[in-house]
């Protein structure tokens, strides 16, 4: 079993923030619960060399069955993922704005969307996924995907807008005010909002909310003994009520309610938590 994050090679680091390898193997008799996949500040390309997902959204009858790979835009809602007994995936987590620069698709068209990667990139996705199936190690998988992306990124002509650097700064200093970030960009609020929306598919205020929520979610997983008020204050919330409002916005539950739900996630059966 593995849930690991890997720093990319410097040759693609301008576009890729990290790789995330997930490999869970459950006994055939295991009744695997669905994973409530929380909003997180990222655009993603996820490969499935083995073990597919069935993905649903609350309030929707649509079922998405993953094939070889999917593009995932910025989410501010939960999607529920049902995995098979042998589940292996490699996620490419992009730098802010990088997916927009690569594909040329307005980011808002991917917000709260999961799109079959072959619909955008064609048969090359099936070919790289087939190579992943024959890879003997996780490192080999990362190298295969890295080489594929390096070739793809060499075709990019769209400049890296300064707002993307501010997005990256938000990931590190999420406790700053929005006005502070706007000043770092030397743009008016209107210009900043428009460029930010183009790059991420959400407005900067919501992006900061997602970053703080994700930080709180992972901190509680890492330190389950910590009380919710301490987590709230550490993650930039005014008080517990402020944190609770964010949890209900993104999950539909209070922090304790969702933490109880998350303790039944598939990775928990293997003694792993997202931290």
Domains in the chain with CATH codes = 2-153 (2.60.120)
Name the pTM for this structure. 0.94
What are 214-255's pLDDT values in tens digits? Answer: 999 999 999 999 999 999 999 999 999 999 999 999 999 999
State residue 60's pLDDT score.
86
Nearest in space to 91 (alpha carbons), one of 4, 9, 156 = 4
Beta partners for 4? Answer: 21
pLDDT(174) > 90 = no
Beta-carbon-side half-sphere exposure of residue 273 (alpha carbons within 13 Å): 15
Q: How confident is residue 51, by pLDDT bands cut at 50, 70 and 90? A: low
d(CA 106, CA 121): 16
State residue 158's pLDDT score.
83
Q: What is the mean pLDDT of residues 242-271?
A: 94
Classify residue 35 as exposed, middle or buried by CB count within 10 Å of its CB (0-12, 13-18, 19+). buried
pLDDT(269) > 90 = no
């Amino acid at each position: 079993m593995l849930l690991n994050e890997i720093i990319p090679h410097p040759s693609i680091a301008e576009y890729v923030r990290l790789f995330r390898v997930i490999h869970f193997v459950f006994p055939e008799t295991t009744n695997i619960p669905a994973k409530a996949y929380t909003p997180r500040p990222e655009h993603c390309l996820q490969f499935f060399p083995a073990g597919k997902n069935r993905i649903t959204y609350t309030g929707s009858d649509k079922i998405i069955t993953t094939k070889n790979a999917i593009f995932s835009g910025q989410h501010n809602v939960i999607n529920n993922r049902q995995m098979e007994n042998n589940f292996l995936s490699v996620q490419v987590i992009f730098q802010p704005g990088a997916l927009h620069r690569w594909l040329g698709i307005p980011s808002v068209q991917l917000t709260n969307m999961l799109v079959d990667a072959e619909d955008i990139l064609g048969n090359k996705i099936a070919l790289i996924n087939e190579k992943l199936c024959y890879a003997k190690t996780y490192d080999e998988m990362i190298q295969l995907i890295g080489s594929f992306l390096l070739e793809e990124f060499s075709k990019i002509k769209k400049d890296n807008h300064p707002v993307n650097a501010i997005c990256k700064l938000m990931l590190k200093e999420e406790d700053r005010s929005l006005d502070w970030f706007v000043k770092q960009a030397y743009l008016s609020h209107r210009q900043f909002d428009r460029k930010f929306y183009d790059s991420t598919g959400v407005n900067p205020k919501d992006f900061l909310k997602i970053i703080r929520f994700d930080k709180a979610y992972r901190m509680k997983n890492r330190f389950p003994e910590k009380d919710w008020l301490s987590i709230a204050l550490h993650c930039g919330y005014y008080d517990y009520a402020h944190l609770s409002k964010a949890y209900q916005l993104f999950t539909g539950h209070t922090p304790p309610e969702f933490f109880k739900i998350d303790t039944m996630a598939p990775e928990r059966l293997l003694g792993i938590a997202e931290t």
